[in-house]
Chain A
Amino acid sequence: MLIYGLFAIYYVMTVNTIYFSIMAFSFRNILTIFRRSAYSKYNTLSGSELVPSVSLLVPAFNEELTVIENVKCLLTLNYPTYEVIVINDGSSDNTLGVLREEFGLEPLPNPEIRNSIDCQPINAVYYNPQYPHLYVIDKPNGGKADSLNAGINLSHYPLISSIDADSLLEKDALIRMARMYMENPEETVAIGGDVRIANGCLIENGAVKEVSLPRKMWPMFQAVEYLKAFLGGRIGWSSINGLIIVSGAFGLFRKDYVIAVGGYRGGYPGEDMNIIIKLHRYMLENKLKYRVAFCPEAVCWTQAPDTYRILSNQRKRWGRGNLKNMIENYDMAFNPKYKVMGLLTMPYNIIFEALNPYFKITGLLALLGYTLMDMTHWRILVVFGLINILSGYLLSVGALILEELAFKRFTKVSDLARLLLFSALKFVGYAQLGGLWRIQGHIQFLRNNNSWGTMTRTSWKEESKAAKTA
């Protein structure tokens, strides 16, 4: 029992040491990111024909409250040539109706859908020549991956960008990503953007006007979590070309490679992680030089779940998707053929991400049992708890330093204090719930329960009203 408890202590120390190393890479790169962002002007680039054209793919399922605002936001980006393709994935609400009404869309008699990737047959493509860069695909419900594949089949440009219909892009977000792509176009197969929590921000005309932290507890925990994951983790992972995920909320991809790997995998959540793993695998197996990059200065604002039920559903879904991806690609782990992906990213994700809650919970139980047998050993239990909390908190503090060094989005001292407070409070309940949701997700996976769960949206106008009155 004691030996297993000690093993759990070392497990936690190891996982955090790896995370510290990844964060060290983030620190090594953060000043370059800051300078790249501060010393670049996009006014010439955003009007230049030299910038590659992009198809924005926006899957929408029951998004009638937010979709109009989001499409308007996307139609006014600072970018020279792009098209917006909204894919209505068999919504049961009036998503298609509000889009048709707002933009005067009519069905195209013979839409040209290339069948580059397998996807469900579509019902219709809607278009209005007055909005020449907007297309709406209507199709029966088939999931997010299937919607993205349908969007790829209609898209006309060599780069595609997947964007969630509940997210708002900053006006320069796409051109910042394109600049990164143009710095190394041959090797760049995917670029991820930074996803931030919009709850609490003041939103006007489809853009975040005033950045503020969420007022509710659940989005606040997620704000802290996202900062740690995106700034502390993804900058570091991308610098060693070991990034395993580009968020489904906002990412840019080379279309030819996405088609080459067969497009998005449907049937399970976690399609955003799956496409990146497939791209790594394809490039490495074909011995092609490549990079999966992360562009933290390209920001996408998203509505975070603000109730326990919705959040738990989302996390269980993530847990399911993650486990599915790990099982599907277990052969990559510890395989030197897959370089950083095989030797670091995949083993890390299997041992220290997917299995994390099991080791932590069983370790805690072992030490608890050992202490109960002889109460004089309470110190070991305290040490285990402290290591967990302090190393996790240190990572959160590190992420906040990264934010302060490069972005300084939160201007108030009180915001900083709140972020520090919630980073600490996270260990009293929220972190444990995270582990529990992941395990529940795994159970759902084993039981073959593949429901999406509930996801309700708030209109951006409501969010904005709440932010103004705060």
Chain B
Amino acid sequence: MYTHLTTAIYFIYVCLGLIGSGIVLLFAMKFNHLHKMKKSRQYLQKHHDYFKFIQSHMNGNSELPLPPGKLKELEGRVIQQKFIEWIDQFKGEFREKLIKLCHDAGFVRKDIKLLDSLFYGRRIAAAYRLGGMRAAEAVPRLLQMLKSERYTPLTIVVARAVAKSADNEEQLKEMLQHLLRHGKPIHHMAADIVMETRLDASRLLLKLLDDENQDLVKVALVAMWGQAIPEVVPSLDRLVGAEQTDVRAEAVKLYLSSNPVLKDDTIKNLMADKDWEVRATVAKSLGSLHAAGSIPLLRSALKDPNWWVRNNSAESLAKLGETGFEVLCQIAMNGTGVERETAMYHIERAMLQDQEHHKIDQMVAYNKKKLLYERYFGTTERRPVRQIAAVGGDYTA
């Protein structure tokens, strides 16, 4: 009995000790934080005139002056923080001047030294600030850090610092290799990181499209979204037939975003691709390519098991003039199941959207569609009535 009681009493003592220390720690942390905040405000106030001076002389020919006096550690950090904010906001000559100022003030040197600190927290904080200061000389050391680290959320912080600071494409490529070696499908994140660079990324991305490493190809494909340039087309031609599904899908998306001329056979093959993303992308692009010859393909795609393919096909049909619109009306009247649902939705959508026309040709196009609509559905009593499809029919969205 007493043994049990003694164990319990020890437990109580331990709890009491930990509670006491915890409360002391809490107040110490709170006071320390408030003190730092107060001091930071004071330093910002103290250097107010200096900041004003820098802002007003940024476009002059002379070099920017260093912060006045001997700076205390926190004081230096406050000024450095302000410079980093400005570096993020400005571009071109202003930014270069501020980067140089960070070097001259010794901020870069101090932080590079901190990259060798025993404390991980200090190393990461230094990496973040070095990225903010676009410190090119820190890149080799940052890459080393990236190479030796296991993948954590903080790997992204170091990778961004490299992307911001890199002064040649090789460094960016090495960063991507280290970032992607963990086997995580983080191509979108990697693309976002690469776009932080101050270099012209398009040359690097072009090279990456021909790289053996499929991960790098994927990063290049997603990073180039919406900005396909003619030089890319040969590589894309090859990648459209790639084995890896996601590479093929991304390549098709990028390829079609450049509004290419497509052969009927190519369209047919792509619309029969086993990957729904490819089919959906092609279906979407056919509307804006005004490929009226593809109407039969789009019509059959309204039965596709994937929602996106059906939806994009209907959207494209609605864009393909009266012929496309009439196909939708026919399906809404005579079709069944999901194809009918999709057609009806897009008919109503087209009628709603097209009402706001400003140009005469738009008005004519709308009126033609309206006539077709009335021919099929007449007045309100013949309007298509939505029918709820069987439950559990669509798992593709």
A111 to B153, alpha carbons, bound, how many Å? 41
Q: Which residues of A contact B15 (CB under 8 A)?
A: 387, 390-391, 393-394
Stretch at the interface among B68-76, B283-291, B293-301, B389-397: B389-397
Is B226 a contact partner of A49 (Cβ separation < 8 A)? yes
Contact pick for B225, options A49, A115, A259, A380, CB 8 Å: A49
Does residue A443 face the partner (Cβ distance < 8 Å to B)?
A: no
Which of B15, B184, B394 has the most A CB atoms < 10 Å from its CB? B15
Is A180 a contact of B153 with CB atoms below 8 Å?
A: yes
Q: How far, in angstroms, from A390 to B222 measured CA to CA in the complex?
A: 54
Interface pair B8/A259, CB less than 8 Å apart: no
CB of B95 to closest CB in A, whole Å: 15
Closest to B353 in A: A129
Is A62 an interface residue, CB under 8 A from the partner?
A: no
A111-B386, A182-B188, A416-B26 known; A255 vs B397 contact (CB < 8 Å): yes
Segment at the interface with A among B59-67, B189-197, B209-217, B262-270: B189-197
How many residues of chain A have a CB within 8 Å of chain B?
Answer: 67
Whether B12 lies near A383 (C-beta < 8 A) is: yes
Is A97 among interface residues, defined by CB-CB distance under 8 A? no
User: SS class of chain A's interface: helix, strand, loop or mixed?
Assistant: helix
Inter-subunit contact A118/B348 (CB<8 Å):
no
The answer on a CB contact under 8 Å between B29 and A185 is: no
Q: Which of B184, B191, B342 is in CB contact (< 8 Å) with A50?
A: B191
Cβ–Cβ contact A401 & B393, under 8 A: no
Chain A residues 46-90 with CB under 8 Å of chain B are 48-52
Contact with A along B185-210 (1 / 0, CB 8 A): 11011011001100000000000000
- B195/A44 in contact, CB under 8 A: yes
**Contact status B22-A401, CB under 8 Å:** yes
B8 and A401 form a contact (CB under 8 A):
no
Residues in B whose Cβ lies below 8 Å from that of A408: 33
Contacts of A175-194 to chain B: CB distance below 8 A: 179-180, 182-186
Q: Are A404 and B26 in contact (CB under 8 A)?
A: yes
- Residue in contact with B19 in the complex, picked from A36, A116, A184, A394, CB distance below 8 Å: A394
* CB pair B8 A13 closer than 8 Å: yes
| Residues on the B chain within 8 Å of A52, using CB | 188
Whether A39 pairs with B397 at a CB distance below 8 angstroms is no
Tell me if A50 and B222 are in contact (CB < 8 A): yes
Residues of B within 8 A of A114 (CB): 307, 394, 397
- Encoded as 1 (CB less than 8 Å from any A CB) or 0, chain B from 372 to 392 comes to 000000000001101011111
Q: Is B125 in the interface zone, CB < 8 Å from A?
A: yes
Known: A35-B124, A50-B191, A413-B27. A116 touches B397 (CB 8 A): yes
A379 located at the interface, meaning its Cβ lies under 8 Å from any Cβ of chain B in the complex = yes
Structural contact, A413 and B30, CB atoms closer than 8 A: yes
A32 touches B12 (CB 8 A): no
- Interchain CA distance A400-B353 in the complex, whole Å: 54
CB-CB < 8 A to A383: which residues of B? Answer: 5, 8-9, 12
Rounded to whole angstroms, the CA-CA distance of A387 and B186 in the bound complex is 47
Q: B25 in the interface, Cβ–Cβ < 8 Å? A: yes
B residues less than 8 Å from A394 (CB atoms)? 15, 18-19, 22
A110–B348 CB distance below 8 A: yes
State whether A112 and B345 are in contact (beta carbons under 8 Å apart), knowing that A259-B397, A398-B22 are contacts in the complex.
yes
A466: interface (CB < 8 Å):
no
Contacts of B390 in A (CB 8 A): 115
Cβ of B44 within 8 Å of any chain A Cβ, yes or no, is: no
B291 to chain A, nearest CB (A): 24
Does B128 lie at the interface of the complex (its beta carbon under 8 Å from any beta carbon of A)? yes
Say yes or no: is A40 at the interface (Cβ < 8 Å to chain B). Answer: yes
**B341, closest chain A residue (CB):** A112
A250 CB to nearest chain B CB (Å): 20
Determine if B121 is an interface residue (Cβ-Cβ < 8 Å). Answer: yes
Task: Name the contact of B11 in the complex, choosing from A13, A50, A184, A398 (C-beta under 8 A).
Answer: A13
Complex: how many Å from CA A256 to CA B396? 7
A40 to B225, CA, bound (A): 24
Q: Which residues of B contact A256 (CB under 8 A)?
A: 395, 397
Q: B364: CB under 8 A from chain A?
A: no
Q: Which residues of A contact B29 (CB under 8 A)?
A: 401, 404-405
Q: How far is A300 from B340 in the complex, measured between Cα atoms in Å?
A: 40
| Number of A-B residue pairs having CB atoms within 8 Å of each other in the complex | 162
Which residues, 230 to 288 on A, are CB-close (under 8 Å) to B? 255-256, 259-260
A362 shortest CB reach to chain B, Å: 18
Chain A residues near B185 (CB, 8 Å)?
A: 185-186
Q: Are B34 and A411 in contact (CB under 8 A)?
A: yes
Minimum CB–CB distance for B257 against chain A, Å: 11
Shortest Cβ distance from residue A398 to the other chain B in the assembled complex, whole angstroms: 7
| Residues of B contacting A400 in the complex (Cβ-Cβ under 8 angstroms) | 22, 26
Q: Is A2 an interface residue (CB 8 A)?
A: yes
User: B345's contact among A49, A111, A179, A260, by CB below 8 Å, is which?
Assistant: A111
CA separation between A372 and B232, bound complex, in Å? 87
* Bound Cα distance from A112 to B342, whole angstroms: 7
Given contacts A39-B125, A185-B186, A390-B16, contact A50 B388 (CB under 8 A): no
B31 within 8 A of A: yes
Residue contact A116 to B394, C-beta cutoff 8 Å: yes
Docked complex: B298-324 residues within 8 A CB-CB of A: 307, 311
Q: Which residues of A contact B156 (CB under 8 A)?
A: 40, 183
Q: Given A32-B152, A383-B9, check contact A45 B397 (CB 8 Å).
A: no
B157 within 8 A of A: yes
The answer to whether the Cβ of B79 comes within 8 Å of any Cβ in the partner chain is no
Q: Counting CB contacts under 8 A, is A446 at the interface?
A: no
CB atoms of B184 and A44 under 8 A apart: no
CB distance B26 to A401 under 8 Å? yes
Whole-angstrom distance between the Cβ of B42 and the nearest chain A Cβ: 17
Q: Is B261 an interface residue (CB 8 A)?
A: no
State whether the Cβ of A208 lies closer than 8 Å to any Cβ in chain B: no
Identify A185's interface contact among B154, B188, B307, CB under 8 A: B188
- Considering the chains assembled together, what is the distance between the CA atoms of A31 and B157 in angstroms? 14
CB distance from B47 to the nearest CB of A (A): 23
Query: Which positions in A face B, CB cutoff 8 Å?
Result: 2, 6, 9-10, 13, 31-32, 35-36, 39-41, 43-45, 48-52, 108-118, 121, 129, 155-156, 179-180, 182-186, 255-256, 259-260, 379-380, 383-384, 386-387, 390-391, 393-394, 397-398, 400-401, 404-405, 408, 411, 413, 416, 420
Query: Lowest 4 A-B CB distances belong to which pairs?
Result: A112-B345, A397-B22, A390-B15, A39-B128
Q: In the complex, given contacts A32-B154, A386-B12, what are 9 additional A-B residue pairs having Cβ atoms less than 8 angstroms apart? A: A51-B192, A110-B348, A116-B392, A129-B352, A129-B353, A183-B153, A404-B29, A413-B27, A416-B26
Which residues of B come within 8 Å of A, CB atoms?
1, 4-5, 8-9, 11-12, 15-16, 18-19, 22-23, 25-27, 29-31, 33-34, 88, 121, 124-125, 128, 152-154, 156-157, 184-186, 188-189, 191-192, 195-196, 222-223, 225-226, 307, 311, 341-342, 344-345, 347-348, 352-353, 383-384, 386, 388-395, 397
